[in-house]
Structure 1
């Protein structure tokens, strides 16, 4: 229920003041900013007056306790009603202490560590004056050509949902009014942005409503069920209508059906982009459609301030739509305690104490260890301290290991791989070998010289951070040619080769898998990446990460994902003809490395899959148990996965669906039983008429170390 304070403010506000509350501008617009409010370039074209700036509701990209306090103080002196600003920024996987990118965090399958990473990011951001973070991004992803897959946690609705909840808990805590070291979370991008055609950013999305509900909506809903305060609209279309002006998506589905009553914000410029989309003739129509869809805040375009008043006065827009948006914005400010304390957590002295605190860096290292995935190992890893190691490649001594969304991160303060290895051994020879996309004979000769001296060669290869992230889409997702040539040349030395990959997407590893003895997928591991990888490479820590997104054999398979549908002519069916089935003639159908895959320095044996009953009724549960034994010589943590398939539904069902998982620590020789509980609710899906229910019939349950290598049993659901 709206408080008396907010009702009073609303009654006092002019229409112009209300509309300005719905406008978000970047830091340079504000007098208290370090650049003194000097507007140049495209920002100057917005036509924003000083009066509008004085009445705006939120700021984009402000941080640093000193600057934020200055902006807020100046604003409060000039704002007639003394309404404080909301400070918003992209704090995606760390503020100053950078954690692994979200796709890597997804590979940890560790929601507790994910929650801790968001909590630490919130502490550092809030003490620097940030109130809202544009995270988590929970878009389900299946196409590694899309640069923003690094910002997602992967291809599975259930796993994404678990991480969505964890990130929201970490960012927001239990009570943001009292816990000023937390920030409000903004889940994005609503909806289905990860399904952009061709893996090309900002591109069209076209899918059935069933697919939207089955695969893409669950993670958004999980974040909102956890209390996420804000939602950001997507750039893409849904059902042929841009999300930012999609009344069905935002009002009917998001607000009415899901029950979201918080603040809805557009992505950067998305309101005005309805014009090139072709659903608005001009800015005035774009503003009307966004307001009618329920978009409360327009980010970095000015259609609201230029046209909403006119739309209201001519009767094209109800003023009640403006009022409800203003109320939602003011309620968030009240929830954050900004009316009592407009500076909230911003504290210059505490900022110096908290930023990059040793405990924060330790947590970043621990998550980097758990997020790295061992894809291949022909017995060469772990390294031995007495071995001479040649560290070669463009990432051997690079601080570009933070990822594209490390806005406040410092490459200079990141632990490079070379620095990490030097902590383990003095027998390290280092050479660059090549740059990321270019090389020279001199660099190549230096790499050969280093390799000649070594027992083992570690090649640090990958993508520059600008090659992924927003607008970082690639049609060719192999390593750059110069790096493949470096690997091929080094191979001629006849030494064992370990490839360590720094990248933001699953890669086409053609020319890599065949040429090396081990592959470590490090992703962009963050501030402590070099230290974490050194522990892993030398066996002071064991690999436990498992892929949350499949790796293709080649880009021609894309999209390739585990929870796909069967066809009427599936490859490998008993009665199938060799040629006339759904297949490629030149590559496998299956991914190179499937969802859930990851090796360890130890080995695990799965046996004895059992179900508690061969039948199940809607009010009963099934217990699925499997024995897992550590058959190696090193302690490890195995991620045991449980999948289900509905063998015959009213509509086609995925070949497998992840339903649960457990992280299981095991000492050498230990054997434990892992038990999962399966409910009828977990068997439900959207039918032809989109009703959500289960069907009687046969189900197959699977358990194993990944989505491919599983044991199975069947049961029947009775109704």
Structure 2
């Protein structure tokens, strides 16, 4: 989906461990953590009404564990119900989710809130486990409920329970205390260091052929810095989008670190959606007289451009990011629309790409022709139209926009086509000792309200990378994405590849430190990278049935799917290289037999046999050799990160109990560990297994 960058990965155990620690960290600061979206909200397509069909075993083994751990171990204070339906009912009125599982089985005592606008009824929702309708009480209010509560038709004990839960959270975080906080402590030196450390820890080294990395500056005279993500600290979009205080781009970081030692040849080479500059007012006119710059803006207090405009003004350029604010006093911050009209005039004849970025819908007309038609709710995304404009000619332009709810964003920009930028990038690569291509996606491609259409790098970046490699074989590709992307077209020709994800405001510094060897990368992939979309478990069911999504892959998602079907991935789950090498040895089990209440102790040694310090994430998998039900080839059950100096070794210790051997038994409605043979596997990734040992459970 479009929001993959917000998730903790494809494995339920991994997601559980990250969720628990994250919640504890947030809530120790008197902030209520909220886990979302409960449950099975794994697509944005038709998210507000799609009926997600998931079998009971898959829910409990794959989709519930992180929520369960968040409640039972993390003591999370709030849970958000999802937009979608789950096996029939909407999640916000699902007794199975909110009552049977969450409040009864897991003993959750916090509050359950809805996603924004995810409530569809009054009585069924009140009677179920939802405590708080967000963002306002369209269905849960005194007009819909009070008379029925007074008459006894609705149980007042349910109301008391909902109020009690809301108050419990408020008291827990100190809202009724004289709580003080220091508002000046924003982006302090300590905060910047944490942001940098987190970014560095997550970077994954995917390929390092011929040890092209780290870059040895002493052997170079010039570096080409190229690509659409070279001068931006990228992030994902939607409600999780974060505007950094002081973002550092890779270009800026490299200039700061080595700009005085080597020549940096910068050429962006290619622009992706959302990167164009707003069309300046000198190119916009209210009429053909050419005397008045800007466009006529008509502001309506409804979404459909209906009636008389509440305001009519001339906007010098169209570059609005109103977030949650209103454009005028006594004007709504949501549920409004704007129509801009006027003329566009270019200074020189050429092909231009006109970009309209918006949250929510837009329509663009050029010479009365509808050229962009996206009259839909969504987080910020960019629609584009390319055409030839003649110098000095006035082109009639009309832009229509509506805002439904949430952030209000609209920008009218333009840019030259990428062909001219490509020539500059090729020349920069040819005239440099080494080329670094910063490729990937952005908030315009990975965001809320829509799914990615494919896993291809947007705007022909694959061909772009191939052209740069032709110009300079010493090319390194740095990906900044929130999800897997295909690399088949160029991976064999590129010696060095890094996946940096969306690393936050310290993106540039973190990436530069890894490139230059100041930091040895130690990140591991939390998701499997496929060769092609057809290899993924959801390929046969996603968007195949209007209004319904069937999780026919069951428990076989991610690496479980690839291993069961013997499909080779591009990069496996848990994969990540280092600038050093690690040796695994000495696997020991406290016993080769395990009984119901036993804890099996596991130990082994990892040694850094390379020449530089580094960190390794050791992973423990369990394989059930023979079971009464179909089970994955193996499943992650423990992991640990160890930092080692050259030549240093440490003993890693794990402890497992029968929960690591168990599967969810649908008939018994409980977790079961069956007697029999098991294999314990220790590896550097799900594919790279270094040590194994059999044992029995009796």
Same fold (TM over 0.5): yes
**How far is 1:308 from its partner?**
2.0
Distance of 2:526 and 2:186 partners within structure 1: 30
RMSD after superposition: 2.3
Q: Which residue of 1 aligns with 2:132?
A: 297
Q: Structure 2: where are the runs of 5+ without partners?
A: 274-352, 354-416, 538-556
Distance of 1:183 and 1:248 partners within structure 2: 28
Match of 2:424 among 446, 451, 476: 446
Secondary structure, counterpart of 2:257 in structure 1: coil
2:397 aligned with 1:397: no
1:645, 1:700 within 8 Å by CA — same for their partners in 2? yes
Q: Which residue of 1 aligns with 2:526?
A: 548
Distance of 1:545 and 1:408 partners within structure 2: 22
1:298, 1:304 within 8 Å by CA — same for their partners in 2? yes
1:245-288 Cα offsets, whole Å, 9 max, x none, are 1112211111111111211100010003xxxxxxxxxxxxx111
Distance of 2:46 and 2:573 partners within structure 1: 19
- The verdict on how the C-alpha distance between 1:504 and 1:203 changes in structure 2, with shifts beyond 3 A counting, is farther
1:373-407 Cα offsets, whole Å, 9 max, x none, are 01111121111224211000111112434765554
2:201, 2:523 within 8 Å by CA — same for their partners in 1? yes
Q: Which residue of 2 aligns with 1:243?
A: 91
Q: Which residue of 2 aligns with 1:184?
A: 32
**How far is 1:519 from its partner?**
1.0
Q: Structure 1: where are the runs of 5+ without partners?
A: 1-145, 174-180, 273-285, 572-588
- The verdict on how the C-alpha distance between 1:158 and 1:169 changes in structure 2, with shifts beyond 3 A counting, is same
Of residues 490-499 and 394-403 in structure 1, the stretch that sits farther from structure 2 once superposed is: 394-403
2:174 aligned with 1:337: yes
**How far is 1:315 from its partner?**
5.0
Q: Which residue of 1 aligns with 2:477?
A: 499
Q: Which residue of 1 aligns with 2:333?
A: none
Distance of 1:160 and 1:263 partners within structure 2: 22
Q: How many residues align?
A: 527
Report the structure, 1 or 2, having the larger helix content: 1
2:233, 2:507 within 8 Å by CA — same for their partners in 1? no
- The verdict on how the C-alpha distance between 1:262 and 1:621 changes in structure 2, with shifts beyond 3 A counting, is closer
Q: Which residue of 2 aligns with 1:562?
A: 559
Distance of 1:642 and 1:718 partners within structure 2: 17
2:520, 2:614 within 8 Å by CA — same for their partners in 1? yes
1:399, 1:414 within 8 Å by CA — same for their partners in 2? yes
Q: State the TM-score, normalizing by the size of structure 2.
A: 0.72
2:60 aligned with 1:213: yes
Q: Which residue of 1 aligns with 2:678?
A: 699
2:298 aligned with 1:463: no
2:79, 2:112 within 8 Å by CA — same for their partners in 1? yes
Distance of 1:464 and 1:711 partners within structure 2: 37
- The verdict on how the C-alpha distance between 1:325 and 1:622 changes in structure 2, with shifts beyond 3 A counting, is closer
2:216 aligned with 1:384: yes
**How far is 1:688 from its partner?**
4.0
- The verdict on how the C-alpha distance between 1:234 and 1:696 changes in structure 2, with shifts beyond 3 A counting, is same
1:463-508 Cα offsets, whole Å, 9 max, x none, are 1213113224113111014212211211221331111111111112
1:699, 1:716 within 8 Å by CA — same for their partners in 2? yes
**How far is 1:417 from its partner?**
0.5
1:627-683 Cα offsets, whole Å, 9 max, x none, are 322222111001111110111222222211111111111222233332322223322
2:260 aligned with 1:429: no
Q: How does 1:683-698 map to 2 (within 5 A)?
A: 683-689=661-667, 690-698=669-677
**How far is 1:611 from its partner?**
2.9
1:154-184 Cα offsets, whole Å, 9 max, x none, are 01111111111111111111xxxxxxx4301
2:34, 2:77 within 8 Å by CA — same for their partners in 1? yes
Q: Which residue of 2 aligns with 1:480?
A: 458
Q: Which residue of 1 aligns with 2:374?
A: none
Distance of 1:204 and 1:620 partners within structure 2: 42
Q: Which residue of 1 aligns with 2:159?
A: 322
Q: Which residue of 1 aligns with 2:642?
A: 664
- The verdict on how the C-alpha distance between 1:186 and 1:636 changes in structure 2, with shifts beyond 3 A counting, is same
Distance of 2:129 and 2:666 partners within structure 1: 29
2:206, 2:498 within 8 Å by CA — same for their partners in 1? yes
**How far is 1:234 from its partner?**
1.2
1:700, 1:712 within 8 Å by CA — same for their partners in 2? no
- The verdict on how the C-alpha distance between 1:607 and 1:634 changes in structure 2, with shifts beyond 3 A counting, is same
Distance of 1:365 and 1:443 partners within structure 2: 31
Match of 1:167 among 9, 22, 26: 22
Report the structure, 1 or 2, having the larger strand content: 2
Distance of 1:359 and 1:335 partners within structure 2: 27
Distance of 2:599 and 2:214 partners within structure 1: 43
Distance of 1:323 and 1:480 partners within structure 2: 52
Q: State the TM-score, normalizing by the size of structure 1.
A: 0.70
